[in-house]
Chains A and B, each alone.
Chain A
């Protein structure tokens, strides 16, 4: 592929303008789709078309977010709206391909109602058939383009933001746009993105470095995996822009080894970007040069913590170190380093192209833009949703995801993973913002949203979460290492029906010590699931005590 220039990208016509007289057939081929059997479906579609001597290309695409309905196939006949089919079997795929080839009407069975257009519209609100509206910025290309074809990304306006930044904007102007946008870190804590960018840029060092944190360790969350798999170039483009702004020459993707497909797609995206002059020396013919390498995690939750992540990218044990100094001052190899979450970076191109003001108009208060959630557990339509901040939990869980799967009423929703908290059903009308969730004793987290129904035992669940953090504790500081273990023993005792009145008070005291004295976010956050369970469901714990009469 020829090296692109700024002018090439500006001249490129958007995909919407290209008219096709062929039906478009797409199969969702992300990890979820493959696990549900997308490969045989893909093969069946191709075989049936070939058998009928039709030479249409069956396209592979990323995750549209409707994971529980995989494998998903989308068919767009010329001049007609797209129709999405769910739970597709190879047999149904043959039937579908036969109908397309013969020019017959598409089958009425297996249609996924009302959400066919979900992923189609970038940055526009889309209705889920009269229900609450998703709003796709981060996932605008997921399930739409073939993530392994850079041309499809370019057709959707890809790398135009980079071209604009390199040709018309100073780093300060990009930071100003970010400031206006109000974008906050999507890894969980919600630190203002512009401030991180600006602090790193201003720090002195021999070189500046940027890291994309793709170590999505929260069990029950997979938004970042889907974005890396479904739209790798968008994350890369955000990272290259970040490199330009902070004055970096090198960047690193840090990705979990448990995500082989995401790694493969990023590797491919890097190769394509290099070949197209979007990465490497003199990007787009300018004097800006920037390189990106991949470093893999190896299964340690603590590596989501910035200082531990730095140690791991350096190839060492992922033990955290005290902050300050913050990575923006002293990070990788002692140099100023900016660490951004996958989802944060995926927002970048649209903020550049549409402006910070546009972005800040979405959302509620200080929580601007959208957030992607992986809604799973006891919910009817488990999957990924991207919603404007400020939408209520109820709208997400009941409106978009169809409520309880079992018919048993929803008891609680958990956000923030092992560092987050439970939110009881009576608080479901709370808007999703950083502030509102914190007030309830939970936090935004990276986007895991686990739904529990009345059959779920929250004492057991508290043990599950705490047990996770105890296993993942790096052991460096005593509050986390010893506090966590002792608290888990108390919970074990309560779960076994042998706890006493004093145990609950001791748990609270230990929790306080861990929150105040642990070195990093893992230990500080570990008591949260237990504390929030106690806050809203204390009677369940008390019911297990030996003297449960009181």
Chain B
């Protein structure tokens, strides 16, 4: 179990969603909201408490892009690659971020500070290109403004991308 979460958290999530139809994905969202990803131990414990086989849980976890199986690190940097952002230079922003952090999309820096990822569309196309750092949405991002945010990321709302 991750140091930030406890068995009680899993039990609370399992209790909330057990016996509600179609609730497995909601329970997994609960785990990811709590831990920032879905730790294997938590998934196992959830499965036992909700009477769902582990294979079924991983079948779902690996299908959906949103779920992470590894700890993403402290700051999650998500470069939006929706069409509007793509046209307005998101690919260049992604390589800039990649260069700056020294990691490829989907990777976490060795010190666990940053996780870089591509997201499909955050639905903020009128302000493209858009990058989110944790829960904070940055609008009309330039290479310079992105760099500034990577130097001083907001820590207020950690853990939620």
Q: Which residues of A contact B (CB under 8 A)?
A: 31-32, 34-37, 67-68, 70, 216-222, 225, 252, 256-260, 293, 295-301, 312-319, 332-333, 374, 376-378, 382-384, 414, 417, 448, 450, 452, 456, 461, 464-465, 468, 474
Contacts and interface: CB of A to CB of B under 8 A. Distances in A.
A36 B139 contact: yes
A259 B160 CA distance: 12
Given A68-B127, A318-B64, A376-B126, A257 B29 contact: yes
B127 A70 contact: yes
B54 to A, nearest CB: 15
Contact of A301 (B25, B63, B67, B120): B120
Nearest to A448: B83
Contacts of A252: 22
Contacts of A219: 81-84, 86, 120-121
A317 B60 contact: yes
A220 B60 contact: no
**Most chain A beta carbons < 10 A, residue from B60, B87, B138, B160:** B87
A36 B127 contact: yes
B25 A35 contact: no
B contact patch SS: loop
A298 B120 contact: no
Contacts of B83: 219-220, 376-377, 414, 417, 448, 450, 464-465
B127 A314 contact: no
**Most chain A beta carbons < 10 A, residue from B65, B81, B130:** B65
Contacts of A220: 82-84, 121, 125
B26 A32 contact: no
Given A34-B137, A300-B63, A319-B63, 4 more contacts: A220-B121, A295-B25, A377-B88, A383-B126
Contact of A376 (B59, B125, B137): B125
A374 B22 contact: no
B122 A382 contact: no
A50 B24 CA distance: 47
B130 A315 contact: no
B49 interface: no
Interface in B20-78: 20-26, 28-29, 59-60, 63-67
B101 interface: no
5 contacts: A70-B139, A219-B81, A222-B124, A260-B135, A315-B24
B59 A374 contact: no
A300 B64 contact: yes
A32 B125 CA distance: 8
A contact patch SS: mixed
**Most chain B beta carbons < 10 A, residue from A67, A219, A252, A382:** A219
B150 interface: no
Interface string B111-141: 0000000011111111110100001011110
Contact of B22 (A216, A222, A319, A332): A332
B22 A32 contact: no
Contacts of A221: 121, 123, 125
Contact of A35 (B64, B65, B88, B130): B130
A472 to B, nearest CB: 8
Contact of B23 (A222, A315, A448): A315
Given A35-B137, A219-B81, A314-B21, A259 B123 contact: yes
Contacts of B86: 219, 464
Contact of A218 (B22, B24, B25, B121): B121
A222 B24 CA distance: 27
B127 A32 contact: yes
A300 B139 CA distance: 24
A258 B26 CA distance: 14
A299 B127 contact: no
